[in-house]
């Protein structure tokens, strides 16, 4: 049985258009998740350890003010296109589009004011909440009026996130949620004692601005082979890696499948990621630097969280051999990701 409550969370600053931000609390017997109407942000996610003790396992802020200032997309839905587009440029039907550059020479997670920074219209469901917004033609440089629905539903230990969209003109689209997890509990120093596996035979090498080179490289015999569980800290040391910020290439099938699993042996918490998406970006919080004060005034140092962002491959709009990222009028974009929490 899932209960759904809604309450006021704050008011947007006047320069951001004002507007009430609401918080929706979804609760089952084993998981409690708090989601904001700003950016469809997962602001808290409490789950049990093996002794039945609840802890909040996502990074974020206690107040709206934290989310309206610059932060690294904590818990937010990002779009129209998640991840990076090289030089913020793409050509479609002979026309070149130029996006805002907000990540060195590239466009990242939708641009200057992407889906993470806007208010969405909520609708309460029996077991969750559905958010809607219309992204107007030309917003952040993208073509077409895009109608978008993001639906969160909770059943027991399973949180489903469904993304749907329809467009009036051909447009690239790739949506994901950018939650930062630490299964020891948010505010724990690092994620080195987490065990992770990702069901991917290949990954995308990147250039020094994090744009895929175009090569689809086998993980076999490299530090990117996560098909069997590895303890993160030891693995980074063994392969002299500063961390991960890479797309892992998943099986190209439309059906839901297990794509990643994380286990935290000290607490017994596990998180499985199931998805219909063609890629998953594994990011180990390399750019966290302790400068942000999060929940409970705790700072978040480097590697104090991980992200598993199910999405299309980065820069797919410029790489014809990557999975199709274009949505046509009359078609529907429809993807679901399930996060399954357990303790043993």
Q: Is 133 annotated as a binding residue?
A: no
Taking a C-beta distance cutoff of 8 angstroms, is the pair 343, 50 a contact? yes
**What is the predicted pLDDT for the residue at 177?**
98
* Mean pLDDT of the chain, nearest integer: 97
User: d(Cα 175, Cα 15) in Å, to the nearest integer?
Assistant: 26
Distances, alpha carbon 231 to alpha carbons 82, 102, 167, 249, 283, in Å: 28, 33, 43, 21, 15
Q: Is 178 annotated as a binding residue?
A: yes
Q: Is 84 annotated as a binding residue?
A: yes
Residue 280 in tokens: 């998953």
> In the predicted model, what is the mean pLDDT of residues 160-170?
98
Alpha helices in 184-277 (DSSP H): 232-238
Catalytic residue among 46, 140, 195, 309: 309
**What is the predicted pLDDT for the residue at 15?**
87
The CB density around residue 94, as the number of other CB atoms within 10 Å, is 5
Taking a C-beta distance cutoff of 8 angstroms, is the pair 166, 147 a contact? yes
Distances, alpha carbon 77 to alpha carbons 114, 148, 151, 167, 215, in Å: 9, 11, 11, 18, 28
**What is the predicted pLDDT for the residue at 277?**
97
Residue 99 in tokens: 């996006």
pLDDT at residue 159 greater than cutoff 90: yes
Q: Model confidence over 132-156: pLDDT tens digits?
A: 999 999 999 999 999 999 999 999 9
User: d(Cα 186, Cα 299) in Å, to the nearest integer?
Assistant: 10
User: d(Cα 125, Cα 151) in Å, to the nearest integer?
Assistant: 9
Domains assigned to the chain = 3-343 (2.70.98.10)
Q: Is 315 annotated as a binding residue?
A: no
pLDDT band at 17 (very low <50, low <70, confident <90, very high): confident
**What is the predicted pLDDT for the residue at 253?**
82
Catalytic residue among 109, 178, 194, 335: 178
Q: Model confidence over 31-79: pLDDT tens digits?
A: 999 999 999 999 999 999 999 999 999 999 999 999 999 999 999 999 9
**What is the predicted pLDDT for the residue at 254?**
80
Is 246 noted as a catalytic residue in this protein? Answer: no
pTM, to two decimals: 0.97
Residue for token pair 């219909």:
276
């Amino acid at each position: 049985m899932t209960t759904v409550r809604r309450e006021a969370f704050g008011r947007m600053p006047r320069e951001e258009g004002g507007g009430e931000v609401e918080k929706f609390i979804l609760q089952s017997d084993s998981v409690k998740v708090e989601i904001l109407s700003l950016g469809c942000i997962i602001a808290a996610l409490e789950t049990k350890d093996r002794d039945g003790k609840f802890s909040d396992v996502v990074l974020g802020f206690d107040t709206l003010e934290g989310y309206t200032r610059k932060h690294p997309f904590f818990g937010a839905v990002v779009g129209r296109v998640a991840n990076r587009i090289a030089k913020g440029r793409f050509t479609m039907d002979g026309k070149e589009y130029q996006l805002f550059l907000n990540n060195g020479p590239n466009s990242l997670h939708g641009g200057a004011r992407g889906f993470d920074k806007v208010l969405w219209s909520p609708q309460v469901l029996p077991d969750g909440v559905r958010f809607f917004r219309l992204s107007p033609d030309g917003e952040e440089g993208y073509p077409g009026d895009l109608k978008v629905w993001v639906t969160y539903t909770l059943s027991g230990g399973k949180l489903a996130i469904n993304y749907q969209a329809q467009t009036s003109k051909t447009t690239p689209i790739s949506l994901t949620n950018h939650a930062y997890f630490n299964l020891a509990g948010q505010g724990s120093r690092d994620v080195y004692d987490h065990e992770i596996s990702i069901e991917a035979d290949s990954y995308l090498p990147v250039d020094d601005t994090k744009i895929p080179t175009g090569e689809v490289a086998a993980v076999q015999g490299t530090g990117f082979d996560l098909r069997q569980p590895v303890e993160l800290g030891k693995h980074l040391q063994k392969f002299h890696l500063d961390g991960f910020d890479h797309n892992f290439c998943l099986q190209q099938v439309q059906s839901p499948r297990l794509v990643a699993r994380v286990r935290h042996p000290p607490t017994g918490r596990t998180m499985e990621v199931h998805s219909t998406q063609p890629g998953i970006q594994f990011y180990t919080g390399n750019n966290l630097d302790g400068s942000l004060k999060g929940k409970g005034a705790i700072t978040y140092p480097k590697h104090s969280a991980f992200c598993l962002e199910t999405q299309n491959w980065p820069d797919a709009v410029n790489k014809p051999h990557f999975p199709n990222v274009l949505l046509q009028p009359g078609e529907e974009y429809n993807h679901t990701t399930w996060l399954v929490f357990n303790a043993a």
